[in-house]
């Protein structure tokens, strides 16, 4: 039970990486606050944890609205009395996100608001709660595209994830001596609804896959396993890192045949 006695908050818990992580955290002993805007699916994640003998609550929150994020953290404290692990995972990948020429300004603003502002607001209210709980771990979901750029243009998404990396590094340095670790999880291409709906043709999927040495999309549960390591005391000397889990994509120099 690698998170025994810890309280965790997971945003984007209704599906994908967030759901798998909430379930895995609970299976490893954490009491989990599941947060998402998709109320029914988020409640289903919390219910699955409870049905399996764990402790969880479901909180409906828009991560881009400060008052709702503040209330989300407060609800976690009210329910469980502490906060030790925060996984700022909620995000979007808009289907109209393309290159700088074709992407409309409102797509840029929306993506930045959720993916970058949402992480900032999470940290803003989570840091004091974690500090008051004696320290812990913040994990922010970034992406491999923040390191390399994407083969399929998605400029707003890429820029928003670059912002997450920069924010994460600075917070890691600022809070290192407060026993608060801050790391960025950088997934490679995943077989999730979010990416599969963006790569909506076989040509787009193959264009992304050809760069992955392992030759397959990753799974959400594989990202959850990485998040578990960053959440647990096993990563006690890890902070400010870009924790890349990408099937070898960022290590590849030549496209494999």
Tokens of 203: 């040509």
Angle 72-78-80 from CA coordinates, rounded to 5°:
100
C-alpha 81/C-alpha 66 separation (Å) is: 21
C-alpha 143/C-alpha 27 separation (Å) is: 26
Q: Which of 125, 157, 237, 253 is catalytic?
A: 157
Cα distances (angstroms) measured from residue 125 to each of 18, 75, 149, 224: 19, 12, 30, 23
Strands 180-187 and 7-11, sheet pairing: unpaired
Tell me which residue of 166, 127, 137, 162 sits closest to 147, measured CA to CA: 162
C-alpha 210/C-alpha 226 separation (Å) is: 23
Active-site annotation holds for 253: no
Backbone angles phi, psi at 211, to 5 degrees: -90, -5
Residue 173 burial (CB count, 10 A): 12
Active site residues: 157
């Amino acid at each position: 039970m690698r998170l025994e006695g810890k309280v965790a908050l997971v945003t984007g818990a209704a599906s994908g990486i967030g759901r798998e992580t909430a379930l895995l955290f609970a299976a490893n002993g954490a009491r989990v606050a599941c947060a998402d805007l998709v109320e029914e699916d988020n409640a289903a994640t919390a219910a699955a944890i409870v049905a399996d003998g764990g402790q969880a609550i479901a909180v409906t929150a828009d991560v881009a609205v400060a008052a709702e994020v503040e209330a989300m953290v407060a609800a976690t404290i009210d329910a469980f009395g502490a906060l030790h692990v925060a996984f700022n995972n909620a995000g979007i990948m808009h289907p109209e996100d393309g290159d700088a020429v074709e992407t409309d300004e409102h797509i840029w603003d929306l993506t930045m608001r959720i993916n970058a502002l949402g992480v900032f607001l999470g940290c803003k209210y989570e840091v004091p709660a974690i500090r008051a709980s004696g320290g812990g771990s913040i994990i922010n979901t970034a992406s491999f595209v923040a390191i390399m750029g994407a083969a399929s243009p998605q400029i707003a998404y890429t820029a928003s994830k670059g912002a997450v990396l920069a924010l994460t590094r600075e917070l890691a340095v600022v809070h290192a001596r407060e026993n608060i670790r801050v790391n960025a999880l950088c997934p490679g291409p995943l077989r999730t609804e979010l990416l599969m709906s963006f790569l909506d043709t076989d040509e787009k999927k193959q264009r992304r896959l050809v760069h992955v040495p392992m030759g397959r999309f990753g799974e959400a549960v594989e990202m959850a396993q990485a998040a578990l390591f960053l959440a647990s005391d096993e990563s006690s000397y890890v902070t400010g890192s870009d924790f890349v889990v990408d099937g070898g994509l960022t290590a590849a120099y030549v496209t494999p045949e």
